[in-house]
Copies of this chain bind each other. A is one copy, B any other.
Amino acid sequence: MHVQLLTYTPNPEQVVAAAARLCYSSQSGEEIAAAMQEQDTAAFIGRLRQMGHFSTFEHASFTFAIDGVSRALSHQLVRHRLASYSQKSQRYVKENHFSYVVPPSVSRSPQTEEEYRRLMEEIGGLYSRLLEQGVAAEDARYILPNATVTNLIMTMNARSLLNFFQLRCCNRAQWEIRHMAQLMRREVQKVAPALFAQAGPTCESQGICYEGEKCCKKGQVEIRQR
């Protein structure tokens, strides 16, 4: 798996801070924006986070190149609807020599991994024969496994990313997408540390678990319902 932050809104924290200031100011957006370079925005953004003023976080967008993840992951990923996706097409790109993900629980046993890999070989063999027999790639792919590797370019704004990290950095998320979420978080925290200061599951950021179940991580976490 490889996650690269391809591009993002320049000066994301200043843009968010300017948008928030505008709401409570009689200055124009242009005036606020002109002044915003010199500000120390970190503390101000901390307050926005505390006040729950997350609509301002939407002005900063982040675009990732995600390579080498499984189609199992991508099917989960695209359920996040406040985001934009471009994904390698199995209808148009032939997968004769497809790469695949091996779950750690499979590679634990060399023999299991061997069986797993042998099946992948076999799938690849039939895939090629189907193409040779004139079956279109869009139909031959019906035999391709969830493990098949895919590539995506994905854009989310900072508010949507916070929601994504809340759900997918959680121990209850599947290991593969959780790993991807952690890599993404690391990238955005480098360039927008204040926006993503508390990015992650609510047990970390707020001491609350909404999953309705204790995971191993924090025994003391409990659902708070009145």
Contacts and interface: CB of A to CB of B under 8 A. Distances in A.
A129 B106 contact: no
A174 B67 contact: no
A216 interface: no
A88 interface: yes
A79 interface: yes
Contact of A58 (B50, B123, B138, B155): B155
A171 interface: no
A155 B119 contact: no
Given A55-B84, A123-B119, A126-B115, A147 B155 contact: no
Contact of A204 (B70, B71, B226): B226
Contact of A106 (B79, B81, B106, B135): B135
DSSP class of A's interface residues: helix, strand, loop or mixed?
mixed
A66 interface: yes
B155 A23 contact: no
A199 to B, nearest CB: 13
Given A29-B4, A59-B153, A106-B130, A23 B89 contact: yes
Interface string A14-53: 0100111011111111101100000000000001001110
